[in-house]
Structure 1
Amino acid sequence: MKMSRFLVPTLKEAPSDAVAVSHKLALRAGLIHQEAAGIFSWLPLGIRVLKKIEQIVREEMDRAGAVEVLLPTIQKADLWRKSGRYDDYGAEMLRIKDRHDRDFLFGPTAEEVMTEIVGAHVNSYQQLPVILYNIQWKFRDEVRPRFGVLRSREFLMKDAYSYDLDEAGARESYNRMFVAYLNIFARLGLSVLPVRADPGPIGGDLSHEFMLLAKTGESMVYADDRALGLPAPGVPPEDRAELQALVDERLAPYAASDELHDASEYEARVEEGHRMEARGVEVGHIFFFGDKYSRSMDVKLDGPDGQPIALQSGSYGVGVSRLVAAIIEASHDEKGIIWPEAVAPFHVGIVNLAPDKEEVSALANKVYNALEGAGRQCLLDDRKIRAGGKFADMDLIGLPWQVVIGPRSVASGELELKNRASGETVSLGFHDLIARLTQGSAGN
């Protein structure tokens, strides 16, 4: 993509009401445009990052055995009345009426809708377990939306729901999703800590949040610091005991958010030199709530003995749009964003220092075409602006690699390659540069 034909509305300064680093940089790098408090449009760079995160989430859900569906954004109020949540959910729910004066709502979550689908289409216990997931825009009317897309009113969310015949099977599904979440965050380059958490209005007796440690976090996290930095677990084991042991390993010996923190237990179970207290941003939340929804909505199946059983369920949410901000919070410097390779809007930024000179533009286009042909996504800055502005914008938007091409490149045959994360700069010939960026350390 050529920058002269692409919308990248960078800003030198962030608006005064932007407080969080991720909010400031998302606005300055032209990822988002604010429409109202907590409501944003996603601009070309931002939507590319959003789609890449969404795809990683989708791949890990599929790998864990979940199946994708697409649910309506507008839900019937009667479903929520049936579950008992319509009045209990509170002012965060945006309630609306259609032209026939029927009650609807803009979905903040989808336990009721998904449970109704399972009740209508799962007819035998032999079809269980069922895990369905949905990637969709949600709306919660936050009292104080802030920090940009870290806490917005409208957001893109992946929510999954599991249905099992008994509690043992349901907890296995819960653990399978737990491992899938660890894999998602590892692929995004995030060091995330799973902690015990309050299930809140979702309900249930088992819940974990996945917390990214950041100064802008709204929750306090108390944990053993040795729980950070563990490698991704990979494909969840099929054996139930092995799966449970893997989950237990990632939770030991202590990790809790402030709602469930027990100071005496914390001091007893965590050695003084390993106690960690920090603020955290929730980037994922999972719940096991038993038959809370299936019983209230009368979703039952005949078990092996012919007796009707209310299904055991769990739900699993991850904020896809929130993860854009979370990655920025975790990966930036004073110049701008530093995108991990897996989610960068483009892999390589090519800076043409002299777009008016035919031989320089020819070389820049040659590099661009070679990299694009090898599957590397490139953003070619062919704008007729000063070099300083080009360098500043490239650092701000944070592409993993920058190639600088000017008259000296034509004369010497050497091109400058910069790694955005390390700042390392090397000079390479054309063929060596293409090889470097299409294999080995540049990734794929």
Structure 2
Amino acid sequence: MRLTRAFLPTLKETPAEAQIVSHRLMLRAGLIRQTSAGIYAWLPAGWRVLQRVTQIVREEQDRAGAQEVLMPTIQSAELWQRSGRYEDYGKEMLRLKDRHDRDMLFGPTNEEMITDIFRGYATSYRDLPRNLYHIQWKFRDEVRPRFGVMRGREFLMKDAYSFDMTMEGAQHSYRQMMLAYLRTFQRMGLKAVPMRADTGPIGGNLSHEFIILAETGESTVFYDSEFESRDWADTSLGYDDVPALQGFFDQVTSMYAATEEMHDATAWQSVPEARRREGKGIEVGHIFYFGQKYSATMGLSVAGPDGTTVVPEMGSYGIGVSRLVAALIEANHDEAGIKWPDAVAPWKLAILNLKPGDAGCDALCEKLYAAFPDQAVYDDRAERAGVKFNDADLMGFPWQAIIGPRGAANGRVELKRRMTGEREELSFEDALARLSA
């Protein structure tokens, strides 16, 4: 992407309405634009980040055995009336009528719809277990939308729903999703801590929220430092290994982790003092096991192995995909701007031509750009070097390749690593090898 042709509308000044770091930087770096209260358009750079985050979520759900579907945003009120949640959900639900005067709603979640879909398919115990997920836009009419996409009204969410024959099977599905979530966040370069949580309007009796550790987080958290050192990506732990997954779950839940509301001062004292950590966090995921709460009310049942009727056990598992983009910025920024982890960056490299029109600079920049056509932004604008440096730092590209007349004359490229600030001057060939690696 050449910046002379790109739609990357950066801002020098911070908009007055932006109250937190991620909101300020998303607006200034040209990732989003507000269209109405709590609703945002995603511009090219922001959309690329959102797609990368979505793909990581999708890959880890697939690896855990979940299968992707796509459900509509508009739902029939009749489904929610059958579950008893239509009136209980409150004013956050956007209710509407179609041209035939039928009550409809913009879905805030999908427990009712997925249960109804599965009910039309499942007849026997052979049809279980199943875990179905989709990545879809939701709408919740927040009374005070704020903090940009962190607490907007329209948001992109991954929600998965498991169906099992027994409580034990459902709890195994729950443990699979806990592991998948930890691996998902780790791949994005985030430290996530699962904390026992209230089930809220979803219902059920087992629930964990996943908290991303960030200095600018919205809630105070207390946790065992063991969470920070674990390698959740270890593939020796398989999703279908029931005893090993149970051991993993027992180990995770035995380590102390609590939000301020759930904090137990007595239990906290049992954590070795050297491992006690207190900080700030942002919720980016929530998993629930709620048994037969929806399967029973929605009329879902199957024939068991002995011919008796069985009502399946269910769980649901959500990740705030668009919220994750803001959380990534909250966890990775400095005074100059965003510091994207490699896995989610819109482009991995910014090529800064410090003197467009200089034959040596132009030739070396073009040569480097040709090597990374889909992963690089080429700043070929006729701007001062300071403007280019500032914009590259603001937009947070993991690598910057800085090419000026002196370096170009000698075939040299200065590489800057945005995450650490380290700089190194290399030959073109060595720079190419470093970036390729």
Regarding TM over 0.5, the answer is yes
**Is 1:285 equivalent to 2:281 in the alignment?**
no
The one-character-per-residue Cα deviations of 1:205-241 (angstroms, maximum 9, x if unpaired) are: 0000000123443433233233333212444522212
* SS of residue paired to 1:146: coil
CA distance in 1, matches of 2:216, 2:434: 37
Kept in 2: contact 1:32–1:46 (CA 8 A): yes
Kept in 2: contact 1:94–1:139 (CA 8 A): yes
Kept in 1: contact 2:340–2:397 (CA 8 A): yes
Q: Aligned ranges for residues 42-191 of structure 1 at < 5 Å? A: 42-191=42-191
* SS of residue paired to 1:228: helix
Using a 3 Å threshold, how does the CA distance of structure 1 residues 427 and 272 change in structure 2: closer, same or farther?
closer
Kept in 1: contact 2:186–2:233 (CA 8 A): no
Using a 3 Å threshold, how does the CA distance of structure 1 residues 363 and 222 change in structure 2: closer, same or farther?
closer
The one-character-per-residue Cα deviations of 1:53-102 (angstroms, maximum 9, x if unpaired) are: 00000000000000000000000100000001001111111111111111
Match of residue 357 from structure 2: 356
Once the two structures are TM-superposed, the CA of residue 271 in structure 1 deviates from its matched residue by 3.6
CA distance in 2, matches of 1:426, 1:218: 37
CA distance in 2, matches of 1:266, 1:427: 49
Point out the more displaced range, 175-184 or 224-233. 224-233
Kept in 1: contact 2:364–2:411 (CA 8 A): no
* SS of residue paired to 1:163: strand
Kept in 2: contact 1:371–1:434 (CA 8 A): no
Match of residue 342 from structure 2: 341
Match of residue 262 from structure 2: 260
User: How many residue pairs align between the two structures?
Assistant: 435
CA distance in 2, matches of 1:147, 1:4: 31
Unaligned runs of 5+ in 2: none
Once the two structures are TM-superposed, the CA of residue 249 in structure 1 deviates from its matched residue by 1.4
* SS of residue paired to 2:287: strand
CA distance in 1, matches of 2:409, 2:215: 48
The one-character-per-residue Cα deviations of 1:323-361 (angstroms, maximum 9, x if unpaired) are: 101111111111110110101101110011122234422
Match of residue 327 from structure 1: 328
Superposition RMSD in Å? 1.5
Kept in 2: contact 1:191–1:229 (CA 8 A): no
Kept in 1: contact 2:92–2:142 (CA 8 A): yes
CA distance in 2, matches of 1:425, 1:219: 36
**Is 1:244 equivalent to 2:242 in the alignment?**
no
Code of the residue aligned with 2:429 in structure 1: it is H
CA distance in 1, matches of 2:379, 2:396: 14
Match of 2:422 among 421, 424, 428: 424
CA distance in 2, matches of 1:435, 1:215: 35
CA distance in 1, matches of 2:91, 2:24: 28
Match of residue 23 from structure 1: 23
Code of the residue aligned with 1:241 in structure 2: it is P
Once the two structures are TM-superposed, the CA of residue 30 in structure 1 deviates from its matched residue by 0.7
* SS of residue paired to 2:430: helix
Once the two structures are TM-superposed, the CA of residue 427 in structure 1 deviates from its matched residue by 1.4
* SS of residue paired to 1:101: coil
Code of the residue aligned with 1:119 in structure 2: it is R
The one-character-per-residue Cα deviations of 1:144-167 (angstroms, maximum 9, x if unpaired) are: 221111111111100000000110
Unaligned runs of 5+ in 1: 440-444
Kept in 2: contact 1:60–1:180 (CA 8 A): yes
Match of 1:406 among 394, 404, 408: 404
Question: How high is the TM-score relative to the length of structure 2?
Answer: 0.96
* SS of residue paired to 2:372: helix
Match of residue 395 from structure 2: 397
CA distance in 2, matches of 1:406, 1:273: 49
Match of residue 209 from structure 1: 209
CA distance in 1, matches of 2:274, 2:198: 27
* SS of residue paired to 2:120: helix
Using a 3 Å threshold, how does the CA distance of structure 1 residues 225 and 341 change in structure 2: closer, same or farther?
same
Once the two structures are TM-superposed, the CA of residue 263 in structure 1 deviates from its matched residue by 3.3
Q: Aligned ranges for residues 300-311 of structure 1 at < 5 Å? A: 300-311=301-312
Kept in 2: contact 1:337–1:395 (CA 8 A): yes
Kept in 2: contact 1:32–1:41 (CA 8 A): yes
* SS of residue paired to 1:5: coil
The one-character-per-residue Cα deviations of 1:91-140 (angstroms, maximum 9, x if unpaired) are: 11111111111111110000001001110112221121100000011111
Kept in 2: contact 1:227–1:252 (CA 8 A): no
The one-character-per-residue Cα deviations of 1:6-63 (angstroms, maximum 9, x if unpaired) are: 1111111211221111111111111111112211110110000000000000000000
Kept in 1: contact 2:215–2:331 (CA 8 A): no
Kept in 2: contact 1:197–1:259 (CA 8 A): no
* SS of residue paired to 2:243: helix
Using a 3 Å threshold, how does the CA distance of structure 1 residues 215 and 96 change in structure 2: closer, same or farther?
farther
Point out the more displaced range, 400-409 or 187-196. 400-409
CA distance in 2, matches of 1:241, 1:188: 28
Kept in 2: contact 1:198–1:260 (CA 8 A): no
CA distance in 1, matches of 2:273, 2:430: 51
* SS of residue paired to 1:324: helix
Using a 3 Å threshold, how does the CA distance of structure 1 residues 18 and 169 change in structure 2: closer, same or farther?
same
CA distance in 1, matches of 2:420, 2:12: 23
Identity among equivalent positions (%) equals: 57
CA distance in 2, matches of 1:144, 1:214: 23
Match of residue 32 from structure 1: 32
Point out the more displaced range, 241-250 or 67-76. 241-250
* SS of residue paired to 2:211: strand
Kept in 2: contact 1:166–1:311 (CA 8 A): yes
Match of residue 442 from structure 1: none
CA distance in 1, matches of 2:233, 2:367: 41
* SS of residue paired to 1:155: strand
Code of the residue aligned with 1:126 in structure 2: it is R
Point out the more displaced range, 69-78 or 146-155. 146-155
CA distance in 2, matches of 1:299, 1:103: 23
The one-character-per-residue Cα deviations of 1:169-214 (angstroms, maximum 9, x if unpaired) are: 0000010010000000000000111000001000000000000123
Once the two structures are TM-superposed, the CA of residue 378 in structure 1 deviates from its matched residue by 0.6
CA distance in 2, matches of 1:270, 1:436: 43
